[in-house]
Amino acid sequence: INVTVQEKHNNRLRFAYRPTTIAKGKNVFVLVGNSYQKYYPSMKRWIKVSQGLDLLVGEAKQDKVIQWGEPNPLLPHIEPSAKRRGVKEFLGGGGSGVVMEDGTLVFPVTARKKGKKYFLSMIIYSKDDGKNWVLSQGMLPVGCTDPLIVEWEQGQLVMVAKCDSLSKVFESRDMGATWTEAVRTLTRVHPRFLANFLQLDWSVASLTTATIAGKKVMLYTQRGSPSGTTAQDTVLYLWFTDNNRTFRLGPISMDCRRKWTLANTLLHSNDALHLLQEKGNDRESSLALVSLTEELKTITSVLETWEKIDSYLSNSSVPTAGLVGFLSDASGEGAWNDAYRCVNAIVTNAKKVENGFKFTGSESYAIWPVNMWTHHYVHSFVDYEFTLVATVTIDEVPNESVPLLGAGLEDDESTTFVGLSYTTEKRWETVFDGITTTHSSAWEPGKEYKVALMLQGNKGSVYVDGVLVGNTNKLPTLRSRRHDISHFYFSGGENSNATVKNVFLYNRPLDAMELKTVDDSDASEKRVGHLFITFLKGIGNSLSVFVNGIGYGLVKFWERASNSSDASEQRADDSSDASEQRADDSSDAAEQRADDSYDAAEQRADASSDASEQLAGDSSDAAEQRADDSYNAAEQLAGDSLTSPMQRAGDSSHASEQLPGDSLTPPMQRAGNSSSASEQRVGHLFITFLKGIGNSLSEFVNGIGYGLVKFGKHASNSYNASDRRAGDSSTLADGSRLLLLLLVLWGFAALC
């Protein structure tokens, strides 16, 4: 909190300016700038007689009381260096300092340049827990005051300061020896250029870092207007960024007529987030500590969404480094939702299609306000560099040139800064800073293209299917054009008739190889096609095994039944009981072997299907060849499993028929016993045959179910479809089991 405290003693006033704090372990370090003024009655005025910079160190005790030591003047530590650098009259930066990863204590400070009236910012630091302090060699440009500082990467200090009342961001990697303006760090807090050439600054009031949901982020507060449509800043917003994507929360505080927010600071500790703010007016002020529990929950949820989307796209070979926005299948009323939840596109009179929208006519279009005033300048990096990739289809040939997509300036003419159009001659047109150029490369109606717009400083490029269509290196920079790139547009021409799908926004240029992998629908279609072919082959092979098994079983059944009947009439077997017992044992063994064989076949079929699935994602020829081999092996295994139990059952029956008898019983009785045993053997054979059919049918049905489940999982290219696929898999599996149960009941009914 940036406060001033005065103390009157012996006609002197002591002012304490801009306390700045650091906490490390049990110790609290407070840096305070101070000055002493003496009243001279003859002159009837107070005159400053001295100024200093003091450090107070407090230790937290077990009873939660901080025991403070005596103020320690720091000017003796830094005065020799200050004289060499020509600075004096130090003040604290206000807010908080930094404990770096190596334990170094860092305070931001401001100082006056000797012989000048202006102030500037720099740092002091200690590497021995406050015993000795060093003044940095470098400093920010003159006029940059009110510094806020954090350590982002290890050894990288980021400082936000007001330069001529406008926020700017600087960074240093050498402990403040040199500072460079970081236009791509916290880009949205930089000065804004409005259409009337006035500059608007929503200055940063508090800045800190935190690790939330396993991700390091920067948190900062910034004043703004409630709706983003007026210039009167009466509310306080909370922002967080991973220095890639940015998200806004709030308002978390609102001013009223009687009290305004004078200062504030953020505190994140022990998985809790708080805001300490000073409110008041020119007569009074007060402090309030507010818990930001709900805001912390939202931050956690957004970070988890970012991680999930990144993981999903990475598995689809889409580069995610620098990816900040993704428009795909999700949409709401009048909106095309950003999957990263940062800023949605606004859709007007368009028809929803899978993963995008179809635009027809001049009143059908979409605007993505990524850097627009009314949407709080979420993605300000687009002023410096970006890559926009989209999948487009031109459905009809227009009567005149029609805009397809582009980046527009926030000026009176909504100038297209980088864009692509298509003509009635089926040619592509590029647009750079409002200037249109027709190219020889052609387009075809109904064909899907992947187009990319790219900006890097003063260089602009347009690609179609990874091939450069047009480029320039003469685009005006932000400083010279003095207008922000405020939005991206999709369609909107008089005779437009086009479809736009899967839009990706990056905060950096992509190389040629990366452009080919963004939304690689061709590769996805090939993988899905191979999976479908493999699945159909699996069904065909399973059906073939099933039909062959039934045919083979019927032939063997009637052959063995006939042999058993003929043999029973010719044999005079007196050991019918023993023969029957052996037949039973043989049939049971055959039945057991059949079950074991089919179980093994089922396991091998599953393994074969998994192998086919694993191989399907490889190159087309190799995948198809491996799928053939895998399913041929499965067919061979299934055929062996069908043949083996029937063969073993036949061998067992034949062996039973050849067992010798003793001729101890009358011929008619032996004949009767033999006939009974034969009937039992035939019954066992029939049961074994039915089990073979059942197992074959089970393999067939399960193969179809398994194939459909796997195909559904891999064929889908929509992130939101992942939840639905689980339900489809469960439903399909339940259906397979129900079908199998009905077939078994049908078999038993037929037997009866």
Distance CA 500, CA 329 (A): 11
Are the CB atoms for 1 and 77 separated by under 8 Å?
A: no
User: How much is the pTM?
Assistant: 0.68
Can you read off the two tokens belonging to residue 252? 């978390």
- 376 Cβ partners below 8 Å, 6+ apart? 188, 224, 228, 237, 248
In a domain, 306, yes or no: no
Domain that holds residue 451: 352-518
The more confidently predicted of residues 576 and 501 is 501
Cβ-count burial of 290 within 10 angstroms (0-12 exposed, 13-18 middle, 19+ buried)? middle
Report the percentage of the chain scoring pLDDT > 70: 63
Of 149, 175, 205, the one marking the end of a domain is 149
Please tell me whether the peptide bond between 251 and the residue prior to it is cis, using omega within 30 degrees of 0.
Answer: yes
Amino acid letter, residue 316 = S
Q: 628 and 726: one domain?
A: yes
In a domain, 170, yes or no: no
How confident is residue 469, by pLDDT bands cut at 50, 70 and 90? very high
Using the structure block, give the residue that is written with the tokens 């939005």.
487
Are the CB atoms for 451 and 390 separated by under 8 Å?
A: yes
The predicted-structure confidence for 383-395, as pLDDT tens digits, reads as follows 999 999 999 999 9
Of 459, 486, 518, the one marking the end of a domain is 518
Q: 363 and 511: one domain?
A: yes
Degrees (nearest 5) of the Cα angle 413, 418, 420?
100
How does DSSP assign 578-603, residue by residue? HHHHHHHHHHHHHHHHHHHHHHHHHH
In a domain, 309, yes or no: no
In a domain, 494, yes or no: yes
Q: How many CB atoms lie within 10 A of CB 175?
A: 18
The predicted-structure confidence for 228-264, as pLDDT tens digits, reads as follows 555 566 789 999 999 999 999 989 988 876 677 778 9
Q: 3 and 56: one domain?
A: yes
pLDDT at 538: 54
Q: How many CB atoms lie within 10 A of CB 346?
A: 15
Whether the predicted pLDDT of 688 surpasses 80: no
CATH of the domain at 72: 2.120.10.10
Which ranges in 98-188 belong to alpha helices (H)? none
In a domain, 571, yes or no: yes
The more confidently predicted of residues 258 and 295 is 295
Distance CA 668, CA 148 (A): 113
Q: 404 and 418: one domain?
A: yes
The predicted-structure confidence for 541-562, as pLDDT tens digits, reads as follows 555 555 565 665 565 556 555 5
The DSSP element (H or E) to which 191 belongs, if any, is none
Looking at the chain, how many residues does it have?
A: 752
In a domain, 297, yes or no: no
Are the CB atoms for 609 and 710 separated by under 8 Å?
A: yes
pLDDT at 544: 57
Identify the three-state secondary structure at position 404: strand
Beta strands, E only, 114-156: 119-126, 134-135, 144-151
Amino acid letter, residue 184 = R
Could you give the number of structural domains in the chain?
A: 3
Give the mean pLDDT of 640-668.
Answer: 39
Among 214, 268, 276, 203, residue whose Cα is nearest residue 242: 214
The more confidently predicted of residues 427 and 568 is 427
pLDDT at 510: 96
